[in-house]
Chain A
């Protein structure tokens, strides 16, 4: 969807920032309702997901399996509130359904399941294995000489998984230039700072050494997010890794950069405070 070429770049950015705010409200709201789920890593990814679903990706919510569509694999599947919010707001399913997150018989499972919910391109949640599936999807695109891009969103802690590097080797071997891995570099994982739990830096040099092109961006500066994602689509014969510098819990002051908010649900009071932070309330 590139209709945005008709609007000024300021309007485009403001609009996507608005969608990101809506996504954040929906994240906090659904995790509060479920009293279970992952706020921190969902909030850190909201701007990237907004740019992809409301601007850059070639998708049609009325045709979720459209062959030529761009694919999105949430390899850090625990952050599914950000994906569910974007899909609902984009029109894949009713927004009211977000309140069924993690409940029995819901299509919004605790980690995303492709066979349940339209718009979910891959079942994921076991870290590293969503990324490897994304490589398989891009390999299929290469075989078909298709134009679609495959975007995989990984956590920085996820890079601890050995299979990430198996998949990275495969993508480079086959020159999967339409594969874009976005690393949500919020520097927090379940047990603490990512840099302490298992130091992975230099992440850029690691991917470069695996024969990937590496771009970096401020994952909360919408102008930079858009420009970087657009740059990632330039064909280079290599897959692209974007390191998105982000803040875990971004947008909710008391959740920002706090390890505890990796997988915790807000109480009623905390929910009210969060809604104040996210201008306009959560309703």
Chain B
């Protein structure tokens, strides 16, 4: 399976959908903290200046101001970099958005080490842990244009806080436009019986590439794109593990408190006993560099995934 190269990063695909939606509904507003040309929120701002508020380099104040507007019943979108939205603004997200269940959508770019060249200060590698921990927060992580566009509609389609993790660089296109996505759903872009590889966002493509490698060795990996991280699709994982009996979770995030921890804890609770491994940052920070070399160095690329899968598949017997 060879995928089309993407020209559009997910941050842009979602922002383009946001621009279209601006004419379809007149209720939502967009907040920005001076990186509108990077989140592409400027597309909306140029078209709807009266519904676009750039509050400068002040993520905490921006988040709390959006919460205040949402308190008046106005759906409010906040765009920015994940590292700032999930940490500097975290308290406003927790206490004044999640606690009172405000209708605020956080569109968070530069997830994981996809902002590799910018270095650790700009890499959101703990964002899923912070956001998924918050009661009432929905967390989505699309991997391509179709899923990023769908994420906008899923986020605006429910009342309450939603965090959408987006990426800096264009990677590949996986889903045809019009593919159905749902909150709490997942997709299985590759079927297999020997091992289940769960990922989300950019590393779905590495997982698919790893599955190609493994297939040449006679190992048929199933790849699940868990684009809805919270809530996530328990039934799909259960059915997959019943067949494959091995689980590898791959995420562009700290291993600690990411999706891997969540799935492992669920397996323990449910008595699903399968060989398990995780790839992701292993209690360490990444570094500046190119995206491909960085994910290679930190063990998240296709070769690393294939190696971990081989070990797990062997452990079954």
Task: Mark out the residues of chain A between 155 and 198 whose CB falls within 8 Å of any chain B CB in the assembled complex.
Answer: 162-163, 166-167, 169-170, 173-174
Give the contacting residue for B61; candidates A113, A114, A126, A167; CB below 8 A.
A167
Q: Which residues of B contact A124 (CB under 8 A)?
A: 96
Q: Which residues of A contact B91 (CB under 8 A)?
A: 126, 129
Please determine whether A137 and B100 come into contact, CB atoms closer than 8 angstroms: no
Give the contacting residue for A115; candidates B51, B60, B100; CB below 8 A.
B100
A174 to B51, CA, bound (A): 12
Return the chain A residue nearest B94 by Cβ: A126
Q: Which residues of B contact A126 (CB under 8 A)?
A: 91, 95-96
Task: Mark out the residues of chain B between 84 and 117 whose CB falls within 8 Å of any chain A CB in the assembled complex.
Answer: 91-92, 95-96, 99-101
Give the contacting residue for A129; candidates B53, B70, B72, B92; CB below 8 A.
B92
Interface SS majority for chain A: helix
Q: Which residues of B contact A133 (CB under 8 A)?
A: 64-65, 67-68, 71, 96
A-B contact count (CB 8 A): 98
Please determine whether B55 and A137 come into contact, CB atoms closer than 8 angstroms: no
Q: How large is the interface on B (under 10, 10 to 19, 20 to 34, 35 or more residues)?
A: 20 to 34
* B74 interface contact, C-beta 8 A: yes
Q: Which residues of B contact A169 (CB under 8 A)?
A: 55-56, 58, 61
Q: Convert A113-146 into 0s and 1s, putting 1 for each residue whose CB lies closer than 8 angstroms to a CB of B.
A: 1110000011111101100111111111101000
* B50 interface contact, C-beta 8 A: yes
A170 to B61, CA, bound (A): 9
Given contacts A121-B71, A143-B50, contact A132 B65 (CB under 8 A): yes
Give the contacting residue for B69; candidates A73, A128, A137; CB below 8 A.
A137
Task: Mark out the residues of chain B between 175 and 214 whose CB falls within 8 Å of any chain A CB in the assembled complex.
Answer: none
Please determine whether B100 and A170 come into contact, CB atoms closer than 8 angstroms: no
Return the chain A residue nearest B55 by Cβ: A170
Please determine whether A136 and B99 come into contact, CB atoms closer than 8 angstroms: no
User: What's the least CB distance linking B74 to chain A, in Å?
Assistant: 6
Return the chain A residue nearest B56 by Cβ: A169
A140 to B197, CA, bound (A): 46
Q: Which residues of A contact B14 (CB under 8 A)?
A: none
Please determine whether B60 and A136 come into contact, CB atoms closer than 8 angstroms: no
Interface SS majority for chain B: helix
Q: Which residues of B contact A162 (CB under 8 A)?
A: 60
* B66 interface contact, C-beta 8 A: yes
A170 to B67, CA, bound (A): 14
Given contacts A123-B96, A129-B96, A140-B74, contact A166 B58 (CB under 8 A): yes
Please determine whether A135 and B65 come into contact, CB atoms closer than 8 angstroms: yes
Please determine whether A132 and B64 come into contact, CB atoms closer than 8 angstroms: yes
Please determine whether B99 and A123 come into contact, CB atoms closer than 8 angstroms: yes
Q: Which residues of A contact B67 (CB under 8 A)?
A: 132-133, 136
User: What's the least CB distance linking B63 to chain A, in Å?
Assistant: 8
Return the chain A residue nearest B53 by Cβ: A139
Please determine whether A167 and B71 come into contact, CB atoms closer than 8 angstroms: no
Q: Which residues of A contact B70 (CB under 8 A)?
A: 136
Q: Which residues of B contact A166 (CB under 8 A)?
A: 55-56, 58, 60-62
Task: Mark out the residues of chain B between 120 and 138 whose CB falls within 8 Å of any chain A CB in the assembled complex.
Answer: none
A114 to B97, CA, bound (A): 12
Interface-centre pick from A124, A135, A140 (highest chain B CB count, 10 A): A140
User: What's the least CB distance linking B26 to chain A, in Å?
Assistant: 11
Given contacts A129-B92, A139-B53, A140-B74, contact A167 B64 (CB under 8 A): yes
Q: Which residues of B contact A137 (CB under 8 A)?
A: 68-69, 71-72
Give the contacting residue for B64; candidates A115, A143, A163, A174; CB below 8 A.
A163
User: What's the least CB distance linking A128 to chain B, in Å?
Assistant: 8
A73 to B96, CA, bound (A): 13
Return the chain B residue nearest A139 by Cβ: B69
Please determine whether B53 and A113 come into contact, CB atoms closer than 8 angstroms: no
Q: Which residues of A contact B61 (CB under 8 A)?
A: 132, 135, 163, 166-167, 169-170
User: What's the least CB distance linking A57 to chain B, in Å?
Assistant: 16
Return the chain A residue nearest B67 by Cβ: A133
User: 26 interchain pairs (CB within 8 A)?
Assistant: A113-B99, A115-B100, A122-B96, A126-B91, A126-B95, A128-B64, A129-B96, A132-B61, A132-B67, A133-B96, A135-B61, A135-B68, A136-B66, A136-B70, A136-B72, A137-B68, A137-B71, A138-B68, A140-B68, A162-B60, A163-B58, A163-B64, A167-B65, A169-B55, A169-B56, A170-B58
Residues of A that sit less than 8 Å from B by CB: 73, 113-115, 121-126, 128-129, 132-141, 143, 162-163, 166-167, 169-170, 173-174
Ranked 7 nearest A-B pairs via Cβ: A136-B68, A166-B61, A133-B68, A132-B64, A166-B58, A136-B69, A136-B65
